[in-house]
């Protein structure tokens, strides 16, 4: 494969498991105040309406990495901008009134509260006609300093998929910390997912976050940026950056149906170190659902049961992912936001270095679209790339010793 990662497979171990709490502020059901969607007069489907988050004000409240300011992450305000601007924040037990600064993006908002005494344990929020008292959660950046951190959000993904995803990145890229946002899974539940991941050889730390809120849906009522309503995922990404990963060696954005390819030498974190700005852009390649003669049902198949890609460039092109060095000063600015496929506002005139990942259509429960449909290869249109076959062989050798 051209990769120079050496040594035996990591020894069996049980990862340290953290289950940090988060501080949620949500409008009461009997409160008529609601967050309206963009262009609220346009017609939307019942699916969009049922998945749209209109009541949560903040997903979490926590200290920043320096222990100086208190941060709140939540959806963007839209029609609730006046209520956000008029909100008051009081530190407890001191009673100190705090100053709020807001940094808004299309799908999330960061509120920075300054002036809190170090003894602050809670904040009281007066928002319109409702009050909230939120515990100020600790920041984990120092505890996870120097980690090779990967994160995802998942719901009802098969354990076989989750295990392969984790083991590949631990074996191939030396990931040692996983942050796993569980979006209300029931089959398997988060306890089973925790047990699966904690047993991955070589994984040092597992952060399990219960995150059972509305995911959001694609909005066909707007022309541009149809994924704007996915507040939950975008807010989770920025929670990783602000509360957990601020001192990590690198933060890798990678979902369960994706595997990051090895660069020519080393790991994706070695590739990251070649970037002056600490930003590596990972180009995606769709892997088709052709499985050959395998008799295993889809939920028991490894990613590497699928090895065919479309020979046509545009047909195999999947949206990008990324890995970042969060210690770079530009990534610590409060108006920088991590999104699914890029990080907003990198330094002007700069470009990230480039890597690659594979996006497996067969590793999917068809929750959003029918990706997982077993097909026979079209030998004129589909081929098996050498790097993917080499990755399969690398993984098989590393995990069967």
Residue 2 falls within a domain, yes or no?
no
Residue ending a domain, among 112, 135, 158, is 135
> Do 195 and 241 belong to one domain?
yes
Residue 77 has pLDDT above 70, yes or no: yes
Residue 389 — very low, low, confident or very high, per pLDDT cuts 50/70/90? very high
Residue 12 falls within a domain, yes or no?
no
Residue 298 has pLDDT above 80, yes or no: no
pLDDT value, residue 13? 63
Mean pLDDT, the chain, whole residue set:
91
> Do 229 and 341 belong to one domain?
yes
> Do 248 and 376 belong to one domain?
yes
Tell me how far apart the alpha carbons of residues 241 and 334 are, in angstroms, rounded to a whole number. 11
> Do 124 and 177 belong to one domain?
no
Q: What is the CATH number for 45?
A: 2.60.40
Residue 50 falls within a domain, yes or no?
yes
Domain count of the fold of the chain: 2
Domain containing residue 101 = 22-135
> Do 268 and 357 belong to one domain?
yes
> Do 173 and 315 belong to one domain?
yes
Residue 351 — very low, low, confident or very high, per pLDDT cuts 50/70/90? confident
Q: What is the CATH number for 230?
A: 3.90.550
Residue 367 falls within a domain, yes or no?
yes
> Do 209 and 155 belong to one domain?
yes
pLDDT tens-digit profile of 211-233? 999 999 889 878 788 899 999 99
Residue 76 falls within a domain, yes or no?
yes
pLDDT value, residue 4? 37
Residue 13 falls within a domain, yes or no?
no
> Do 271 and 307 belong to one domain?
yes
Residue 370 has pLDDT above 70, yes or no: no
**Alpha-carbon distances, residue 277 vs 26, 151, 260, 302, 346 (angstroms):** 37, 21, 20, 35, 8
State the pTM of this model: 0.92
Residue 369 has pLDDT above 80, yes or no: no
Burial of 287 per CB tally in 10 Å (0-12, 13-18, 19+):
buried
> Do 205 and 62 belong to one domain?
no
pLDDT value, residue 302? 86
Residue 7 falls within a domain, yes or no?
no
pLDDT value, residue 291? 65
Contacts of 260 (CB under 8 A, 6+ apart): 169, 172, 173, 252, 254, 268, 282, 321, 323, 355, 356, 357
> Do 28 and 104 belong to one domain?
yes
pLDDT value, residue 377? 65
Residue ending a domain, among 87, 106, 135, is 135
pLDDT tens-digit profile of 153-184? 999 999 999 999 999 999 999 999 999 999 99
Residue 41 — very low, low, confident or very high, per pLDDT cuts 50/70/90? confident
Summarize the confidence of residues 349-373 as an average pLDDT: 78
Residue 300 — very low, low, confident or very high, per pLDDT cuts 50/70/90? confident
Residue ending a domain, among 135, 158, 181, is 135
CB-based contact 19:208 (threshold 8 Å): yes
Residue 11 falls within a domain, yes or no?
no
pLDDT tens-digit profile of 241-266? 999 999 999 999 999 999 999 999 99
> Do 99 and 232 belong to one domain?
no
pLDDT value, residue 3? 43
Tell me how far apart the alpha carbons of residues 320 and 340 are, in angstroms, rounded to a whole number. 8
pLDDT tens-digit profile of 4-33? 333 344 555 689 999 999 999 999 999 999
């Amino acid at each position: 494969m051209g990769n120079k990662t050496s040594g035996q497979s990591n020894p069996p171990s049980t990862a340290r498991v953290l289950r940090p709490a988060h501080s949620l502020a949500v409008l009461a059901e009997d409160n008529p105040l609601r967050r309206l969607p963009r262009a609220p007069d346009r017609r939307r489907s019942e699916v969009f309406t049922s998945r749209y988050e209109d009541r949560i004000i903040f997903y979490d409240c926590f200290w920043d990495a320096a222990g100086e300011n208190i941060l709140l992450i939540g959806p963007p305000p839209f029609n609730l901008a006046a209520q956000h601007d008029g909100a008051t924040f009081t530190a407890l037990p001191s009673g100190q009134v705090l100053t709020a600064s807001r940094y808004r993006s299309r799908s999330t908002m960061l509120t920075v509260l300054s002036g809190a005494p170090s003894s602050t344990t809670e904040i009281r929020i007066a928002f319109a006609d409702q009050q909230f008292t939120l515990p100020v959660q600790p920041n984990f950046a120092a505890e996870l300093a120097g980690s090779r951190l990967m994160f995802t959000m998942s719901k009802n993904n098969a354990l076989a998929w989750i295990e392969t995803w984790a083991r590949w990145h631990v074996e191939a890229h030396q990931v040692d910390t996983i942050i796993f946002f569980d979006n209300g899974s029931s089959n398997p539940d988060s306890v089973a997912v925790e047990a699966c991941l904690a047993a991955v050889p070589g994984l040092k730390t597992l952060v399990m976050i219960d995150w059972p809120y509305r995911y959001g849906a694609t909005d066909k009522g707007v022309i541009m940026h149809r994924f704007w309503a996915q507040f939950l995922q975008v807010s989770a990404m920025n929670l990783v950056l602000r509360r957990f990963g601020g001192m990590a060696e690198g933060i890798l954005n990678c979902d369960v149906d994706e595997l990051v390819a090895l660069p020519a030498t080393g790991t994706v974190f070695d590739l990251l170190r070649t970037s002056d700005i600490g930003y590596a852009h990972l180009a995606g390649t769709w892997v088709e659902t052709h499985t050959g003669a395998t008799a295993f049902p889809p939920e028991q198949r490894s990613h590497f049961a699928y090895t065919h890609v479309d020979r046509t460039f545009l047909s195999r092109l999947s949206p990008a992912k990324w890995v970042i060095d969060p210690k770079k000063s530009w990534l610590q600015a409060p108006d920088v936001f991590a999104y699914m496929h890029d990080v907003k506002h990198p330094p002007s005139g700069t470009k990230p270095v480039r890597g690659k990942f594979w996006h497996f259509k067969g590793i999917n429960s068809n929750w959003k679209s029918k990706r997982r449909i077993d097909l026979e290869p079209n030998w004129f249109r589909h081929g098996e790339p050498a790097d993917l076959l080499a990755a399969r062989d690398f993984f098989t050798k590393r995990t069967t010793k």
